[in-house]
Amino acid sequence: SSWALLSGKDGKCDYVVEVNNDITESVRTRERLTESEHRLRFAQEAANLGIWDRSLTGHRSFCSEGWFRIQGRSPSSPAPTQEEWLTWLHPDDCERVVRAMKIALQTGNYEAEFRVVWPDGSVHWLRGKAQTLVDENGSPIRLIGANVDVTDNKILVERLQAINRSLEASNRDIQLFAYAAGHDLKEPLRTVSNCASLIAHELHDKLEPQYQQLLTHIEDGARRMQKMIDSLLEYAKTAEGVTHIEQVSVETIVRNAITNLQAAVDETQAEIAVKSLPVVYANAEALTLVFQNLIGNAIKYRKPDHRAHIAVSAWQSVDEWTFAVSDNGVGFDARHRESVFQLFKRVGNSAASGTGIEIGRAS
């Protein structure tokens, strides 16, 4: 509302004129802008994001409070010049950032990761993106961009890389040990087995039954140890070779695994139902061995006098596929669901042969 006093000819205030304007839409617009500003500020704080706008024509630059915060500076400080800001960067990153900005003036886009050294000496990683604005003649006049603090991500990646390097070193050591142990153990084991067989053959009629039984135990133990060594070597060889990843049809993989087990399937008359399976990225040989081992176990650990019914299925969640091999076999106690996957670990009282480390071999 606006008011005005109107005077008559005698100079007295005879009238009051009031003008009212409906500003509802203006108020609502201002409220929406305020709400948007609050949301933007909250989003910046939640994402650890800083916004900046730098003029290339000498006008004043703008930096948000979030930008100052992730730079380790007070928001009450004036926006720094480019030269001043570059002194905040880690010395090893300055040249690369300047080069990226020069390229941005030519291409219109800027993107870089760099380190900022806070006044307390701590180093923080930032990721920056920006876009160049031009005038009607196509000349660059402004750079508008955003920085986000990625220090936590960097630390996590570095830790994961260190863990991966450690795991790779451990895997190499395990593989070397497996090969060395396997080959070194084979010779004395072969000697034990041959000697036991020779004694059993030469002295068969002269040994008392209890000693013949002991020799039989020695031979059986040697054979089991031989299988364990062969499985260990196969495991080390498989773990070393799982590097090539490609797009594969899991349905084809499962069919190949069943073909490799065809003799056991025919012998036991096992029924295997394979539902629709997806195409995924995997190592084809390793995945074949996985299904071959699971299906082979389902056949091996079937219930006595029962035909094995096996189903291979899959379902998709948000970002992964889950595969299941189910059967009507003897199963195992749920409390063993973790230990059953340990090397050389077998559960239950099944009479089926095995070492607990079978990788599987193609027939």
What pLDDT sits at residue 358? 52
**Distance (Å, whole) CA 127 – CA 83:** 19
Give the pLDDT confidence of 174-214 residue by residue, as tens digits: 777 777 766 777 778 888 888 888 888 888 778 888 888 88
- Mean pLDDT in the chain? 82
> Residue 363: what pLDDT?
31
**How confident is the model at residue 361, as a pLDDT?**
39
Residue 242 has pLDDT above 60, yes or no: no
Indicate the pTM of the whole model: 0.44
The candidate with the shortest Cα–Cα distance to 348, out of 363, 358, 360, 336, is 336
Confidence of residue 44 (pLDDT cuts 50, 70, 90): low
Selection from 102, 100, 106, 103 nearest residue 138 by Cα: 106
Instruction: Compute the average pLDDT of residues 272-277.
Output: 92
pLDDT of residue 362: 35
Residue 309 has pLDDT above 80, yes or no: yes
